[in-house]
Amino acid sequence: MKRVEVLAPAGNLPSLRAAVDNGADAVYFGFRDATNARNFEGLNFSESEAAQGIAYARQHGVKANVVLNTFPQVNDPSPWYQAVDAAARLQADAIILANIALLRYCRERHPGLPIHLSVQASASNAEAIRFYQRHFQIARVILPRVLTAPEIRVLHDKVDVELEVFAFGGLCVMAEGRCHLSSFVTGVSPNIEGVCSPARAVRFENVDGKLRTRLGGALIAEYGPGEEAAYPTICKGRFQANERVYHVMEEPGSLNILEILPQVIEAGVASLKIEGRQRTKSYVGTVTKILRQAVDSYYENPAAYRAKPAWIRALNATSEGTTHTLGTYEESWQ
C-alpha cells in the first residue's frame, strides 16, 4: 500500500518553507483574494510568491496544491476563473475546487490539472463522490469531518478516488460548505467572502475591567482580567444558557488523531491534512514535524505504534484551547 501523505498548510512563503523543511510530503495554499476560505489580511500568495513557493517545494520533492474553495460571486466571477488559469499556469500539482462551474471550467480548459474535491463540497457518501468523479474526473476527495474511521474504510472500498482526511487543527460545528451562522450575524457568507469573522465585523470593548468581543454587533464572549481572549467566532462563543455562561456550541480545541493514527491509515486514506493556513510559521513547523514523526513511527512498526506523550503535549500547546479531541472520529451517536 502506498504510504500516507503528510499535507501541511501554508498561509505565506515562510510557512510553506517551514512545512517543507519539517517533513511535509505536500503543501496547500491559496491566492491573496476571496477565492480561498482563509481570506485574512496579510495572508496568502500573489502569483509570483506562489511561483517561488512551488519552486521551493519541487526542489525538495514536495507537492504543491492550490486552494480555490469558495464560490464565485454573481456580480463578478472572473477572479475565480482567473485563479484556475493561474494554478494551471504555475503547474500546480493539484487544484482544490468546490464549485461545479469551476470544476467544469477546469476540466474543460485544463484537462491535465488534477482536481481535488474540496471539503466545502460536503461529499461524504459514495454516490456524491461518484457524481464528481463521473462528471469532472476528480482524483481525490477531501472528506468532511463527520465520518468515523470504520465509515471511511467502507467508503474507501466503494469509490475509486483518493481520500484525504483532516488529522489536526480547528474544528467547526457546521458541516463544511454549509455555514449559515456567520452569514446570519455578519451579513456575508464565509463561502463567498472567505472568512467566518471578517475583520470589519469584529469589535473589542473594555467594560468594567472586562473585555467583551462582538461579531456583527452580537456579543460573543466576555473575559476577565488576565484571561486569554479568542478571536470571535459564533461557534466558539461563550453564551448564557441554562443559567450559566459556557461554550454552548463548541469548546475551543483541536482535532488530533495521533491516538488513532493506525485506524485512520488502515481505513485506506491517501492524505493526512493539517488545518491552519491562518496560523503561524511556528505552528506549521511544529505540527508538521510531529505528524511526520508519528507517520514514520507507524510505518516502522505498525503493531507497536503508540502516540508519544511528548507529541500530545507539544500539539496541545499549539491548540486553540490547549487541548485536543478526536471529534466525530469517536462520536458514539453515529
pLDDT tens, position by position, 176-215: 556 677 777 887 777 666 677 777 888 888 888 888 888 8
Mean pLDDT of 15-23: 98
Residue with cell 482535532: 255
SS3 101: helix
pLDDT confidence of residue 269: 97
Residue 267 lies in a domain: yes
Task: Between 96 and 277, name the one with better pLDDT.
Answer: 96
pLDDT confidence of residue 48: 97
Mean pLDDT of 102-118: 98
pLDDT confidence of residue 237: 78
Same domain (yes/no): 49, 125 = yes
pLDDT confidence of residue 248: 67
pLDDT confidence of residue 83: 97
pLDDT confidence of residue 243: 83
pLDDT category at 67 given cuts 50, 70, 90 is very high
Is pLDDT above 60 for 322?
no
CA contacts within 13 A on the Cβ side of 9 = 25
Neighbours of 83 (CB within 10 A): 25
Mean pLDDT of 144-150: 87
Quote the pTM value: 0.84
Last residue within a domain, chosen from 223, 246, 269: 246
Q: What are the Cα distances from residue 280, in Å, to 51, 251, 253, 269, 324? A: 21, 21, 17, 27, 18
Residue 99 lies in a domain: yes
pLDDT confidence of residue 153: 95
Residue 176 lies in a domain: no
Are the beta carbons of 295 and 266 closer than 8 angstroms? no
Residue 78, classified by CB atoms within 10 Å of its CB into exposed (0-12), middle (13-18) or buried (19+), is exposed
pLDDT confidence of residue 245: 79
Containing domain of residue 242, as a range? 185-246
Same domain (yes/no): 109, 230 = no
Residue 334 lies in a domain: no
Q: What percent of the chain has pLDDT over 70?
A: 89
Residue 284 lies in a domain: yes
Distance CA(266)–CA(171), nearest Å, equals 23
Same domain (yes/no): 19, 101 = yes
pLDDT category at 334 given cuts 50, 70, 90 is very low
115 strand-pairing partners: 95
Same domain (yes/no): 116, 156 = yes
The answer for residues whose C-beta is within 8 angstroms of residue 303's C-beta and 6 or more apart is none
pLDDT confidence of residue 22: 98
pLDDT confidence of residue 333: 44
Is pLDDT above 50 for 155?
yes
Residue 241 lies in a domain: yes
pLDDT category at 88 given cuts 50, 70, 90 is very high
Same domain (yes/no): 138, 221 = no
State pLDDT tens for residues 289-307: 999 999 999 999 999 999 9
pLDDT confidence of residue 203: 87
Residue 179 lies in a domain: no
pLDDT confidence of residue 331: 60
Mean pLDDT of 147-173: 89
- The number of domains in the chain is 2
Residue 180 lies in a domain: no
> What is the sign of the dihedral through the CA atoms of 179, 183, 189 and 194?
negative
Are the beta carbons of 178 and 257 closer than 8 angstroms? no
* CATH number of the domain to which 89 belongs: 3.20.20.70
Last residue within a domain, chosen from 246, 274, 289: 246
Same domain (yes/no): 133, 39 = yes
Same domain (yes/no): 259, 154 = yes
Same domain (yes/no): 54, 192 = no
State pLDDT tens for residues 225-278: 877 777 777 777 778 888 887 766 666 667 888 999 999 999 999 999 999 888
Same domain (yes/no): 238, 270 = no
**Stretch among 117-126, 152-161, 168-177 having the lowest mean pLDDT:** 168-177
Calculate ∠ Cα 283-288-294, nearest 5°: 130
Distance CA(59)–CA(209), nearest Å, equals 53
Same domain (yes/no): 34, 111 = yes
pLDDT confidence of residue 2: 86
Same domain (yes/no): 161, 196 = no
Last residue within a domain, chosen from 199, 222, 246: 246
Same domain (yes/no): 222, 195 = yes
Q: What percent of the chain has pLDDT over 90?
A: 55
256 strand-pairing partners: 168
Residue with cell 472500498: 157
Task: Between 219 and 107, name the one with better pLDDT.
Answer: 107
